[in-house]
């Protein structure tokens, strides 16, 4: 596996079916577990815990943060964590609000059958030379915290294929952590409904009621998907 191979796997076609998407996840997971290292300031970091998020017309996981991005780029998500982007394309709309003689601007996304977007959340990493673990998405983001405002050559963390084999360790697959967020109370169906309504209100322009109903039904299945890969010793 080369970086170009990995980039190709992360360029999932907009109309790809669910089986092929899961196949891509499997190939990418093997590469991240066994071959990939994040290089930053002369030190290497191994990925110990990560989760897959991807949306297209055949894989409508509405928990995914919308974005526009090239494959294999870094993304600071809405909760301050770091994602490794899939190739992503969705219409972005400028929303203007008038208040006290001022115009305020924000952005939302328009969900269509042509939309596709997603990323891989990096939950934990380990510094290779001293085995220190950065435990949680916000700890991982420390690598991306401060960069020069004047230097045109940004020295960002770089994902590489390790030149030497990584130490074999065991990973387990499990469901994604806290997928439904802080939405509590009621039965599972009610919590899922709240999650979908919240995500749509925060991220998207108006969504057709029929599609919204389908997104709620499909999230029941997505919440049980084993899209998280975690080092056994951390589980």
Dihedral sign (CA 220, 62, 193, 78):
positive
Is residue 99 domain-resident?
A: yes
Is residue 194 domain-resident?
A: no
3-state secondary structure of 211: helix
pLDDT at position 235 is 62
Nearest-CA neighbor of 55 among 119, 120, 116? 116
**Which long-range contacts does 94-98 make (Cβ < 8 Å, 24+ apart)?**
none
Is residue 27 domain-resident?
A: yes
Is residue 134 domain-resident?
A: yes
Cβ atoms of residues 93 and 108 within 8 Å: yes
pLDDT at position 80 is 87
Is residue 212 domain-resident?
A: no
For the purposes of burial, counting CB atoms within 10 Å of the CB of 112, is it exposed (0-12), middle (13-18) or buried (19 or more)? Answer: exposed
Residue 53 belongs to domain spanning: 3-176+225-234
Residue 185 CB partners (closer than 8 Å, separation 6+): 191
Taking the chain (235 residues) in runs of 10, the rounded mean pLDDT of each run is 95 96 97 96 96 98 97 92 97 92 94 97 96 96 86 83 90 95 79 95 94 97 97 80
Q: Cα–Cα distance between 227 and 84 in angstroms, integer?
A: 15
Cβ atoms of residues 71 and 87 within 8 Å: yes
Is residue 183 domain-resident?
A: no
pLDDT at position 165 is 82
Q: Cα–Cα distance between 227 and 64 in angstroms, integer?
A: 12
pLDDT at position 163 is 86
3-state secondary structure of 87: coil
Is residue 197 domain-resident?
A: no
Nearest-CA neighbor of 222 among 188, 198, 183? 188
Total domains, the chain: 1
Is residue 184 domain-resident?
A: no
Q: Cα–Cα distance between 29 and 51 in angstroms, integer?
A: 9
């Amino acid at each position: 596996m080369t970086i170009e191979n990995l980039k190709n796997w992360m360029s999932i076609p907009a109309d790809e079916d669910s089986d092929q998407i899961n196949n891509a996840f499997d190939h990418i997971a093997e590469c991240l577990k066994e071959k990939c290292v994040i290089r930053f300031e002369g030190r290497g970091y191994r990925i110990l815990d990560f989760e897959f998020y991807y949306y297209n017309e055949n894989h409508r996981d509405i928990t995914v943060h919308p974005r526009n991005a090239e494959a294999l780029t870094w993304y600071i998500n809405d909760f301050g964590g770091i994602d490794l982007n899939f190739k992503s394309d969705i219409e972005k709309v400028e929303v203007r609000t008038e208040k006290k003689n001022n115009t305020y601007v924000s952005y939302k996304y328009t969900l269509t059958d042509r939309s596709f977007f997603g990323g891989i959340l990096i939950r934990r990493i380990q510094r290779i030379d001293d085995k220190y673990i950065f435990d949680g998405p916000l700890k991982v983001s420390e690598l991306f915290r401060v960069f020069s405002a004047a230097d045109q050559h940004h020295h960002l963390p770089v994902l590489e294929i390790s030149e030497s084999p990584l130490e074999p360790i065991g990973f387990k697959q499990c469901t994604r952590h806290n997928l439904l967020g802080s939405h509590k109370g009621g039965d599972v169906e009610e919590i899922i409904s709240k999650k979908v309504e919240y995500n749509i209100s925060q991220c998207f322009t108006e969504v057709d009621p029929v599609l919204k109903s389908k997104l709620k039904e499909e999230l029941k299945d997505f919440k049980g998907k084993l899209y998280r890969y975690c080092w056994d010793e951390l589980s």
